A and B are shown apart, each in its own frame.
Chain A
Amino acid sequence: MTAQHRRVAFWGLALVVAALLACVLGAGVGSTGFESVWHVRDDPSAWRIVWDIRLPRTFGAWLAGALLGLSGALAQGLFRNPLADPYLLGSASGASMGVAFVVAFCGASPVAAQWLGRLGLTGAAFIGAACAVMATMVLARGVQHTLRLLLAGVIVGVVLSAFNSLMMLRYPAVMQVMQTFILGSTAFIGWTALGLMAVVWSVCALAAWGLSRVLDGLALGENTAMSLGLRLAPLRAMLIVVLALAIGTAVAQTGLIAFVGLASPHLVRSLVKTTHNRLIFLSSLMGGALLLAADLLARWVIAPQELPVGVLTALIGGIYLLWRMHAGNVRAGGA
């Protein structure tokens, strides 16, 4: 076992242990504190608080973070840019658009309850994210050109954000829902959402691992990757599908949570230099640990009230990136 493998194993284990400890804390942090945990056997309301609210929220925060971390590693490898954000393909604005659309056009109509019941805001967010990614791919005329993809993603993001703003102006009812969505929250994750995220994470992690060699090859440039026998167009399309599925699912369940996807691969790379098959898993573990820690902090810092977790991650992530920038470690890699 090389020194690199030992470091990967150490940090992988450390992140798993950190997540487990945070999960234990997650079961206890809330307005009633650990009291509910101690009385979980004899008090039905304590059981409901721990089982129905705190546990799915805690595990869900980890899974959403893991999806964001995985997406971040994929996006940065795919775009060959350490500053690439998983929301780059327009998925964030697309998800917001989906939510705004459902609230604006279904919220007030008689059939709204049925539609909302079936589809839900999370489903709308997912469909919005998927449509935005597809629009990006259509605008970029495929996935052959990284720069074109990036530009198309930025264009789709900006245009959909403008539409979102217009929707909020036209339909004030949208504003409140959108605010919760944009600020990001893990408070609404239930066992069903948790199960969905677990399935998607398993599928995406497995697919990303299988495609990790493409990202390693791409690290040396598209020409070198092609010269190594990698058929970039279909492989890149597969990576984008995995990225869209992971980010769409996370955004649909938690809203827009900033910086976790961007910062997780950065943090991992500052700890250990390794190939993408390990980087993807470590970034996923790092993302889970980060979002779970941020969620605990959001629940604890002004308890019994709580902060929107997206605000906290944006604040901490911004400070972290600023520090990295001044430490001279953020490389302006070309796309």
Chain B
Amino acid sequence: MNPHAIEARALGVQLGGKPVLHNIDLAFGRGRWTSIIGPNGAGKSTLLKALAGLLPHQGEVSLPGLPAGEQGARAKARHLSWLGQNEHGADDLTVYDIVMLGRLPHQPWLGAPSEADRAAVRQALDMTQAWDWRERSLGQLSGGERQRVLLARALAVQADVLLMDEPLANLDPPHQVDWLRLVRGLVAQGGTVVSILHEISMALHADDIVVVAQGRVRHQGRCDARETHAAVEQVFDGRIHIRQVDGQWTCLPRI
């Protein structure tokens, strides 16, 4: 069995005629959580979109876990779930309906939601503690509550691979901790998580880190490796340093 959940070979992306990603080779381990780190404009979100197949790109992205007989957009959508940055709109849909959208790849085109769909939605809403708002519309929720609902939408897909761009945006510290536990739980069950996090201290809780700068991968390694910390400090021009505080790797500003 291939140990990787996603593999990218010679991945390149141009936006508006300008190259944004250059010849990237990456492999994300199955059953692991990888954080992508880099300065603003490094190409992190573009990389995640390219991995999700949401952007035209050069090179190849493959999902080794996708069964040979299950190809096509819907099969891939069942296998890979994507949570974007600043998803907006849908204010007039209820929380329940939004999370049910995560079941679209599992439902027949004109079919009604099945018991399995309803159970998946219930589970996702429970995981993000959003079940009580199920009949409220998204527009009635705060930024943090909205983020938890959108996370529930991504979880409801029940995909093997979960790609998340800034999933902690608007979440308060207790809910950030809940998110960490949730991701750890998914990974413990064999899931693969790839996330972009600007909170470096939170990103350092992952298993692996990919450091991106100027559209290129500068480093890929374990979170607790000294070389990884050095690479992270370097792409941020040495203005941060990574230290262990109470047994946890933490990013501190270098003032």
Taken residue by residue from 51 to 94, chain B's Cβ proximity to chain A (1 for < 8 Å, 0 otherwise) reads as 01110000000000000000011111110111010011111111
Residue in B53, B82, B91, B104 whose beta carbon sits within 8 Å of that of A217 in the complex: B104
Taking CB atoms, residues of chain B closer than 8 Å to A2 are 96, 135
Taken residue by residue from 92 to 128, chain B's Cβ proximity to chain A (1 for < 8 Å, 0 otherwise) reads as 1110111001101100011000000000000000000
A334 close to B88 (CB less than 8 A) = yes
B54 close to A220 (CB less than 8 A) = no
Residue in A3, A213, A227 whose beta carbon sits within 8 Å of that of B54 in the complex: A227
CA distance A230 to B157 in the complex (A): 14
A220 close to B78 (CB less than 8 A) = no
Q: Which of A30-38, A98-106, A269-277 contacts B (4 or more CB under 8 A)?
A: A269-277
> Which residue on chain A has the smallest CB distance to residue B103?
A228
Contacts of A203-242 to chain B: CB distance below 8 A: 210, 213, 216-217, 219-221, 223-224, 226-231
Contacts of A1-24 to chain B: CB distance below 8 A: 2-4
Residue in B76, B109, B135 whose beta carbon sits within 8 Å of that of A213 in the complex: B109
Residue in B76, B87, B139 whose beta carbon sits within 8 Å of that of A229 in the complex: B76
Number of chain B interface residues as a range: 35 or more
Q: Is residue A333 within 8 Å, beta carbon to beta carbon, of the partner chain? A: yes
Residue in B49, B82, B89, B104 whose beta carbon sits within 8 Å of that of A230 in the complex: B104
Taking CB atoms, residues of chain A closer than 8 Å to B91 are 331, 333
CA distance A227 to B104 in the complex (A): 10
A229 close to B89 (CB less than 8 A) = no
Q: Is residue B23 within 8 Å, beta carbon to beta carbon, of the partner chain? A: no
A208 CB, min distance to chain B CBs, angstroms:
13
B82 close to A224 (CB less than 8 A) = yes
Q: Is residue A299 within 8 Å, beta carbon to beta carbon, of the partner chain? A: no
- Given the known interface contacts A228-B77, A229-B73, the answer about A221 and B102 at a Cβ–Cβ threshold of 8 Å is no
Taking CB atoms, residues of chain A closer than 8 Å to B49 are 223
Taken residue by residue from 277 to 308, chain A's Cβ proximity to chain B (1 for < 8 Å, 0 otherwise) reads as 00000000000000000000000000000000
Taking CB atoms, residues of chain B closer than 8 Å to A217 are 101, 104
Q: Is residue B250 within 8 Å, beta carbon to beta carbon, of the partner chain? A: no
CA distance A306 to B151 in the complex (A): 56
CA distance A333 to B89 in the complex (A): 7
A275 close to B54 (CB less than 8 A) = no
B101 close to A216 (CB less than 8 A) = yes
Taken residue by residue from 230 to 274, chain A's Cβ proximity to chain B (1 for < 8 Å, 0 otherwise) reads as 110000000000000000000000000000000000000100011
A141 CB, min distance to chain B CBs, angstroms:
14
CA distance A209 to B25 in the complex (A): 43
- Given the known interface contacts A2-B135, A227-B82, the answer about A220 and B90 at a Cβ–Cβ threshold of 8 Å is yes
B89 close to A219 (CB less than 8 A) = yes
Residue in A220, A223, A334 whose beta carbon sits within 8 Å of that of B98 in the complex: A220
CA distance A265 to B153 in the complex (A): 25
B93 close to A221 (CB less than 8 A) = no
> Which residue on chain B has the smallest CB distance to residue A227?
B82
A252 CB, min distance to chain B CBs, angstroms:
30
B89 close to A80 (CB less than 8 A) = yes
Taken residue by residue from 133 to 152, chain B's Cβ proximity to chain A (1 for < 8 Å, 0 otherwise) reads as 00101010000000000100
Taking CB atoms, residues of chain B closer than 8 Å to A224 are 82, 84, 87
- Given the known interface contacts A219-B93, A220-B98, A274-B97, the answer about A231 and B84 at a Cβ–Cβ threshold of 8 Å is no
CA distance A228 to B93 in the complex (A): 17
Residue in B52, B75, B92 whose beta carbon sits within 8 Å of that of A227 in the complex: B52
- Given the known interface contacts A227-B80, A273-B137, the answer about A4 and B88 at a Cβ–Cβ threshold of 8 Å is no
CA distance A331 to B80 in the complex (A): 32
Taken residue by residue from 181 to 221, chain A's Cβ proximity to chain B (1 for < 8 Å, 0 otherwise) reads as 00000000000000000000000000000100100110111
Contacts of A104-153 to chain B: CB distance below 8 A: none
CA distance A219 to B137 in the complex (A): 13
Taking CB atoms, residues of chain B closer than 8 Å to A221 are 84, 87-89
> Which residue on chain A has the smallest CB distance to residue B107?
A213
The residues of A with any CB-CB pair to B shorter than 8 Å are 2-4, 80, 210, 213, 216-217, 219-221, 223-224, 226-231, 269, 273-275, 331, 333-334
Known: A217-B101, A220-B101. 17 other contacts (CB 8 A): A2-B135, A210-B109, A210-B110, A213-B109, A223-B52, A224-B82, A224-B87, A227-B82, A227-B84, A228-B101, A228-B102, A229-B104, A230-B73, A274-B94, A274-B97, A275-B93, A275-B97
Q: List 13 A-B contacts (CB under 8 A).
A: A80-B89, A210-B110, A220-B98, A221-B88, A224-B82, A226-B73, A227-B81, A228-B77, A229-B72, A229-B76, A273-B92, A274-B93, A331-B139
The residues of B with any CB-CB pair to A shorter than 8 Å are 49, 52-54, 72-78, 80-82, 84, 87-94, 96-98, 101-102, 104-105, 109-110, 135, 137, 139, 150, 153, 157
